[in-house]
Amino acid sequence: ETGADAWLRYAALDAAAARRYVNTLPPVVVVLGNSPVEQTAQRELIRGIRGMLGVTLRVSSTVPAEGAIVLGLDPAVRKAVPGTPAGNPLAEDGYALSLRTAGTARHLSIAGGSERGVLYGTFALLRKIALGEAMEALNEHSAPYAPVRWVNHWDNLDGTIERGYGGRSIFWDKGVVREDLSRVSEYGRLLASLGINGCSINNVNTDPRILTAEYLPQIARIAEAFRPWGVRLVLSVDFGSPQRVGGLATFDPLDAGVAAWWKAKTDELYRAVPDLAGLLLKADSEGRIGPSAYGRTHADAANVIARALKPHGGLFFYRGFVYDHHMDWRNLKNDRARAAYDNFNRLDGQFDDNVVIQIKHGPIDFQVREPASPLFGALEHTNQAIELQVTQEYFGQARQLVFLVPMWKEALDFDMQARGAGTPVKALVAGKVFQRPTGGFVGVSNVGLDANWLGNHMSQANLYGYGRLAWNPDLTSQQIAAEWTRLTFGNDPQVVQTIESLQLKSWRVFEDYTGPLGLQTLTDIVGNHYGVSVEASERNGWGQWHRSDEKGAGMDRTVATGTGYAGQYRPAVAKRYESLATCPDELLLFFHHVPYTHMLHSGKTVIQTLYDLHYDGAVSVEGYVNSWKLLKGRVDERRYAEVLAQLEYHAGQAQVWRDAVNNWFHRASGIADAKGRVGHQPGRIEAEAMTLEGYAETPVTPWEGGSGGK
């Protein structure tokens, strides 16, 4: 298997299970509406049933007396299926599945609160069958947790993808939209199966040409490929567009000509793509221009574009990822973590109702462990969405196995105490706490043309998990891992148990051998964000620091003696992080600077914990290889071999990280490892110890990047 079908393989069930479903399900399908999305639902149902049960549903235009699987909008289904009890209307995009028997007739209805709901209900039914769930007493209602369930792509018009690890763009090639968009429709299918309803197709570091007339018909083709799957198009825009492509003298958001330009441009976009979901902007960040060029606020900037979108029902997403990337790392008061809150909190109440502030889940940038961004708890009069990164930029870039759902769950479930206890981030972003008109979830997904989409079979679990959480953030990590594994690799209990357990522990293991205790990902943050580099994770202008030196480690972000970041949380949360006594070990060095001999709540010193976790982490990854090998013959050969190769590489990488980080902290602290391991680098063969033909020894920079500095 190539992995192209991801979790929608519809592999044949074993004969007994298939027979059970064939006996329960009506053999006829009727679709009541003729919208493209409902037609898609019918085709998908036929495809899934044929794949899993080996039977082809008969298509009928009317509901036969002996019963049928009936698909349609809620009111239409109630009318068509005899005896359907009246109930509350379904939520938009929600669905209801039910099986009803009357005499010899049997009706299975898939009713949607919208056309999308019909499609989502169909996928839900197929998922149940693939998972072997009982159908006899089927009666289920499901509604999405939030209206916004989008993905973003950081694809460049030349076909490369910023932070993409699964091949070239499925949308773009050599400056134009690809001729063949079949991969885009397949992707639309994957997204729809999760209930994702919006997708941006170009990098937030935007090429302004996207808004020129030449691109409109091309963009319209992508919208067309997505439309049958209920996925609406989103574009990233450049804030300088009125000047750069519009030829105006200014892009000042308060200039009447600029406002008129955005309005005319937006009208033109909607003529080409009438169901455009909205626009997205990264401004005043990492070299992107923004309102600061004219001394205007982010609200001025957001509202001018939002007002142009408003008559079309479009949303405007303004990224909260705004910070100064030219900070002096020697200034102990400089703190990038403060930036989102400092920039946006004071503007709360000034954004129009169709503006959404898109906030990364932590205050820095997708690091291995960050507290949830305090901005979620601060905005009361502004729509917000949480941005989660599906593409594994700081997480081994699809070469290492890291299942991100447990990390996202911690952020989503974190109680911001925004109105006393009981206001988790998920409820805040969905607009449930302060009764906002919209909000929700955005995943940076960055799939590519690789057969398996993400460059690694196991990484698909992150896309799946993101989508499932966006629909229902109350699902547990374990439920999601189990579902994904069974849909992707089948129901063999040993396979399920092994893969589920690898996935579930993988984030913590990754944290252990990279940057535990709140140190973050100790990588070259100006470069590729992949390999270990403790030096470069500190001495840079981009503000991702941890302040480790000879005396101790950690960044003092307290109000009392540090940058004051802890004070951006509501008092109850701020108090917990402010105090060494109550700050959790896993975030200690994110909030406090302590000596290496500081005793953790666990009863162990910081330095010994760093050493131990790095050894434990590397041992765990070696264990991945061993458990995977036991699946030989139980997983199809191609995927077995590809995952094995990746895990073996991963095990080596974990050792490289282990030794580099431990050597660095050993040299910095001058404190020996109580177990005497540091410096010995078990499992590795030094090139310096080999006979070198055609190679020479040389010192490397940073020194910890080479074992023994060479």
Residue closest to 652 by CA, chosen among 629, 632, 682, 677: 682
365 and 544 Cβ atoms separated by less than 8 Å = yes
Q: C-beta of 391: minimal distance to ligand BDP in Å?
A: 9
Q: How many helices (H) and strands (E) does the chain have?
A: 20, 18
| Residue with token string 């282990």 | 658
**Cβ nearer to ligand BDP, comparing 286 with 342:** 286
Has 179 been annotated as catalytic?
A: no
Cis omega (within 30 of 0) for bond into 147: no
Has 286 been annotated as catalytic?
A: yes
**Cβ nearer to ligand BDP, comparing 344 with 434:** 344
**Active-site annotation holder among 365, 370, 511, 673:** 365
**Cβ nearer to ligand BDP, comparing 204 with 589:** 204
By CB atoms closer than 10 A (0-12, 13-18, 19+), residue 504 is: middle
Q: C-beta of 116: minimal distance to ligand BDP in Å?
A: 28
Q: C-beta of 163: minimal distance to ligand BDP in Å?
A: 5
Q: What is the dihedral of CA 553, 558, 562, 567, to 10 degrees?
A: 140
**Cβ nearer to ligand BDP, comparing 205 with 212:** 205
CA torsion sign for 82, 85, 90, 93 is negative
Q: Round to the nearest angstrom and report the end-to-end CA distance of the chain.
A: 41
Q: Which residue is nearest to ligand BDP (CB)?
A: 365
The enclosing H or E element of 636 equals none
The enclosing H or E element of 549 equals none
571 and 564 Cβ atoms separated by less than 8 Å = no
**Cβ nearer to ligand BDP, comparing 163 with 296:** 163
**Cβ nearer to ligand BDP, comparing 546 with 593:** 546
Has 268 been annotated as catalytic?
A: no
Q: C-beta of 393: minimal distance to ligand BDP in Å?
A: 6
Chain residues binding ligand BDP by CB under 6 A are 162-163, 204-205, 282, 286, 321, 365-366, 393, 529
Q: C-beta of 613: minimal distance to ligand BDP in Å?
A: 24
Q: C-beta of 512: minimal distance to ligand BDP in Å?
A: 22
555 and 589 Cβ atoms separated by less than 8 Å = yes
Full DSSP string of 438-449: --EEEEE----S
**Cβ nearer to ligand BDP, comparing 195 with 240:** 240
Q: C-beta of 366: minimal distance to ligand BDP in Å?
A: 6
User: What amino acid occupies position 686?
Assistant: E
Q: C-beta of 605: minimal distance to ligand BDP in Å?
A: 32
d(CA 91, CA 72): 14
**Active-site annotation holder among 140, 173, 275, 286:** 286
Q: Calculate helix-pair angle for 216-226, 256-272, nearest 10 degrees.
A: 50
User: What amino acid occupies position 58?
Assistant: R
User: How far is Cα of residue 601 from the mean position of the Cα atoms in its chain?
Assistant: 32
Q: What is the CA radius of gyration of the chain?
A: 26
**Active-site annotation holder among 252, 393, 511, 642:** 393
By CB atoms closer than 10 A (0-12, 13-18, 19+), residue 703 is: middle
**Cβ nearer to ligand BDP, comparing 162 with 324:** 162
* Active centre residues (catalytic): 286, 365, 393
